[in-house]
């Protein structure tokens, strides 16, 4: 069985990928993660007795650690999920995003190049470096613009998006300059189980269950394309196994929704799944001051990955959202662990001074 080095595997998408990889026996997994605020030890607890899974705490920016790590474990592929990923945090603290997403990716590429050059010719043919990125690198769309394609020019509008754009360009450069066999995927907004509740869907679910306001930026008409995390994980594995080196693929959910529609759907499902007498969760919806540079619309054209590799999402937004809400309702211990004091401090920092513009 192959061995994959997963960076950032304690995060939302990385942990879901690892769990699926071990369940489906895709590969043995080595998980390198520095365990930031968004990590929860419970997320991967079910693998603690799995001999095909190893965890090492470390930073992708520590090149000496990475060099030793690669020499020791000899992975057949590296999948780089490691990233600072929250736009609001990037607005308040952009330096962290440059450090991890740009400089960290650079150090990981440098270590990977040195490792790759020492491999046998046969192992070089098999080795891949797969970089996980975002649709936010493409900027913002109007209501009538066509969806992002792989050849859409980059136009990032937030420090987060700019840092991911920088990392994408470095990955491309290491393929063209050094021959490192790289792949890049750019995904739309992921949702599903085990997502840290700073992101819209888990934030709304947990605030609603706790009777707290459901904050919506601006007029709530910002549009995102929502991708169920398990569909994304299957696409990533397919790209790793079947794509030609140097390729880039956009991975989307074919589910464009306004933020307001997402929140209203969550409220309607919670009215059914966790009803309260004479109460509708939608009464908690609160419009708050918009964030700076808030992109109006993202949309992904996934026709290339469908045509080349036969992938398309299995979950509709409604089916994926139902699964997501049921997971949060059924995993209260995980939720309690992730909502630490640091989490409450962040929520206050980001939302506390955004006076409600309207109530709905």
Residue among 135, 168, 234, 264 flagged as catalytic: 135
Residue among 136, 168, 234, 256 flagged as catalytic: 136
Residue among 160, 228, 249, 281 flagged as catalytic: 160
Per-residue pLDDT, averaged over 89-102, amounts to: 89
CA 350 to each of CA 136, 163, 217: distance values in angstroms, whole numbers, following the listed order? 20, 21, 12
CA 40 to each of CA 11, 37, 105, 197, 338: distance values in angstroms, whole numbers, following the listed order? 8, 8, 23, 12, 6
Query: What string of DSSP letters covers 168-192?
Result: HHHHHHHHHHH---EEEEEE-EEES
Residues of the chain with pLDDT > 90: what percent? 81
Residues of the chain with pLDDT > 70: what percent? 93
Other Cβ atoms within 10 Å of 87 Cβ, number = 21
pLDDT for residue 356 is more than 70 = no
Summarize pLDDT for 74-86 with one digit per residue, the tens. 999 999 999 986 7
CA angle 261, 349, 163 (to 5 degrees): 75
Supply 261's token pair.
């529609």
pLDDT for residue 143 is more than 50 = yes
Q: Could you tell me the pLDDT band of residue 360, with boundaries at 50, 70 and 90? A: very low
136 flagged as catalytic: yes
Per-residue pLDDT, averaged over 195-202, amounts to: 88
Angular region, 218: left φ>0, alpha ψ -120 to 50, beta rest:
left
pLDDT for residue 214 is more than 80 = yes
Lowest mean pLDDT among 65-69, 123-127, 200-204, 336-340: 336-340
The pLDDT, as a whole number, for residue 197 is 84
6 forms bridges with which residues in the sheet? 31, 79
The pLDDT, as a whole number, for residue 359 is 38
Q: Could you tell me the pLDDT band of residue 215, with boundaries at 50, 70 and 90? A: very high
Supply 214's token pair.
């459901």
Q: Could you tell me the pLDDT band of residue 347, with boundaries at 50, 70 and 90? A: very low
The pLDDT, as a whole number, for residue 339 is 73
The pLDDT, as a whole number, for residue 291 is 79
Q: Could you tell me the pLDDT band of residue 354, with boundaries at 50, 70 and 90? A: very low
Supply 187's token pair.
């995904």
Lowest mean pLDDT among 56-60, 131-135, 225-229: 56-60
Q: Could you tell me the pLDDT band of residue 350, with boundaries at 50, 70 and 90? A: low
Other Cβ atoms within 10 Å of 48 Cβ, number = 9
The pLDDT, as a whole number, for residue 353 is 56
The pLDDT, as a whole number, for residue 352 is 58
User: DSSP secondary-structure letter at 129?
Assistant: E
Q: Could you tell me the pLDDT band of residue 337, with boundaries at 50, 70 and 90? A: confident
pLDDT for residue 91 is more than 70 = yes
pLDDT for residue 326 is more than 90 = yes
- Report the chain's mean pLDDT, rounded to a whole number: 92
Displacement of CA 353 from its chain's centroid (Å): 27
160 flagged as catalytic: yes
CA angle 80, 84, 86 (to 5 degrees): 130
**Domain 3-194+226-255+293-316 class, CATH top level:** alpha beta
C-alpha span between 8 and 60 (Å, rounded): 9
| Tokens 């607890």, residue located | 45
The pLDDT, as a whole number, for residue 72 is 94
The pLDDT, as a whole number, for residue 302 is 97
User: DSSP secondary-structure letter at 94?
Assistant: H
Q: Could you tell me the pLDDT band of residue 345, with boundaries at 50, 70 and 90? A: low
pLDDT for residue 343 is more than 70 = no
């Amino acid at each position: 069985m192959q061995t994959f080095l997963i960076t950032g595997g304690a995060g939302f998408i990385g942990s879901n990928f690892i769990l699926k990889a071990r369940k489906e026996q895709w590969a043995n997994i080595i998980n390198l993660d520095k365990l930031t605020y968004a990590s929860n030890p419970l997320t991967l607890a079910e693998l603690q007795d799995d001999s095909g899974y190893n965890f090492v705490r470390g930073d992708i920016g520590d090149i000496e650690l990475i060099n030793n790590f690669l020499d020791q474990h000899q992975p057949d592929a590296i999948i780089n999920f490691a990233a600072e990923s929250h736009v609001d945090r990037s607005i308040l603290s952009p330096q962290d995003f440059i450090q991890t997403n740009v400089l960290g990716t650079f150090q990981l590429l440098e270590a990977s190049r040195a490792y790759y050059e020492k491999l046998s010719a046969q192992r070089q043919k098999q080795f891949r470096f797969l970089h996980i990125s975002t649709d936010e690198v493409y900027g913002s769309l109007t209501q009538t613009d066509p969806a992002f394609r792989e050849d859409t020019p980059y136009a990032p509008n937030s420090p987060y998006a700019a840092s991911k754009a920088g990392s994408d360009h470095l990955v491309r450069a290491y393929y063209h300059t050094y021959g490192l066999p790289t792949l890049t995927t750019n995904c739309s907004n992921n949702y599903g189980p085990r997502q840290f509740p700073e992101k819209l869907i888990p934030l709304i679910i947990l605030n609603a269950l706790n009777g707290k306001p459901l904050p919506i930026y601006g007029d709530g008409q910002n549009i995102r394309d929502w991708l169920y995390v398990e569909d994304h994980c299957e696409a990533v594995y397919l790209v790793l196994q079947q794509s030609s080196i140097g390729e880039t693929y956009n991975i989307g959910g074919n589910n464009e929704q306004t933020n307001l529609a997402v929140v209203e759907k969550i409220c309607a499902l919670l009215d059914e799944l966790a009803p309260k007498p004479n109460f509708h969760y939608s009464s908690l919806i609160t419009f708050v001051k918009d964030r700076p540079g808030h992109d109006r619309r993202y949309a992904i054209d996934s026709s290339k990955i469908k045509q080349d590799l036969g992938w398309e999402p299995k979950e509709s937004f409604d089916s994926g959202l139902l699964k997501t809400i049921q997971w949060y309702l059924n995993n209260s211990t995980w939720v309690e662990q992730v909502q630490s004091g640091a989490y409450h401090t962040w929520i206050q920092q980001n939302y506390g001074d955004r006076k409600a513009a309207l109530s709905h």
